[in-house]
């Protein structure tokens, strides 16, 4: 008899996710109840790419097709032997976050999503533009779109609100890192915009346990960074 139960398959989560990845090295994997997060490092600027796989439907979403098309396709196949990729979200329009976007779209026919204000600067056409408060689906999972204006006008983050012990997870692109917000090239107005959005739209709505996945480098948590917000404001970057 066919199993029609739509609940996720049980898993033994014995792997301790660290988020420490290197270009040319293996992905790191975090298993949540309905979602698997895979992190890989690609390209000359050590960009992070994240593959989100729905554990119920098999749908897949890639955050930032930054560079190294073969490695990104390998990442996609880690989640789906058939190479299924439904959606590619670009967190912002900077060149180091879109280097493999065109090739990924051509190979997978995935739809593309980006912030409305950044879409015109992305060389590959954007299927769907989004703004703060919108929702993107990956299978049965909702990803909340958070507008974080300043690093670029249309930079976005994505929040996945896990159930129970899974906690909340936020993919911040280049808008929030361990130790500070993203670069604003010394522009005081851009910095004010970014730090205010980060304070209100991330720190203002997420618990300290929320896991932060940035566009480069190591992961962090909201709780680790929260005590330093005033310090960041005072230094101006």
Give the residue, 57 or 5, on which the prediction is more confident: 57
Q: Read off the tokens for 126.
A: 């954007």
Per-domain boundaries in the chain: 28-235
- Average pLDDT value for residue range 117-137: 98
| Whether domain 28-235 has CATH 3.60.15.10 | yes
Q: Looking at residue 15, what is its pLDDT? A: 75
Element containing residue 128 per DSSP (H, E): strand 128-130
Describe the strand order of the beta sheet including 60-63 as a list of residue ranges: 28-31, 35-42, 47-54, 60-63, 87-90, 111-115, 128-130
Average pLDDT over the chain reads 94
* Neighbouring C-beta atoms of residue 86, cutoff 10 Å: 19
pLDDT at 234 over 60: yes
pLDDT at 13 over 70: no
Backbone angles phi, psi at 4, to 5 degrees: -100, 10
């Amino acid at each position: 008899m066919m199993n029609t139960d739509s609940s996720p398959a049980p898993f033994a989560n014995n792997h301790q996710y660290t988020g420490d990845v290197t270009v040319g090295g293996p992905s790191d994997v975090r298993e949540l109840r309905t979602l698997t997060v895979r992190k890989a490092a690609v390209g000359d600027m050590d960009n992070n790419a994240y593959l989100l796989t729905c554990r119920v439907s098999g749908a897949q979403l890639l955050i930032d097709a930054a560079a190294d098309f073969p490695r990104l396709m390998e990442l996609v196949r880690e989640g789906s032997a058939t190479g299924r990729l439904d959606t590619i979200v670009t967190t912002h329009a900077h060149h180091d976050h879109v280097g493999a976007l065109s090739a990924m779209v051509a190979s997978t026919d995935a739809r593309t999503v980006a912030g409305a204000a950044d879409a015109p600067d992305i060389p590959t056409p954007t299927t769907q533009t989004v703004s703060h408060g919108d929702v993107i689906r990956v299978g049965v999972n909702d990803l909340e779109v958070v507008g974080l204006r300043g690093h670029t006008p249309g930079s976005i983050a994505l929040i996945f609100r896990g159930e129970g012990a899974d906690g909340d997870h936020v993919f911040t692109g280049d808008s929030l890192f361990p130790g500070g917000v993203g670069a604003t090239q010394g522009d005081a107005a851009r910095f004010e915009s970014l730090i205010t959005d980060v304070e209100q739209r991330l720190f203002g709505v997420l618990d300290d346990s929320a896991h932060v996945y940035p566009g480069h480098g190591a992961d962090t948590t909201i709780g680790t960074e929260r005590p330093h917000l005033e310090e960041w404001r005072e230094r101006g970057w």
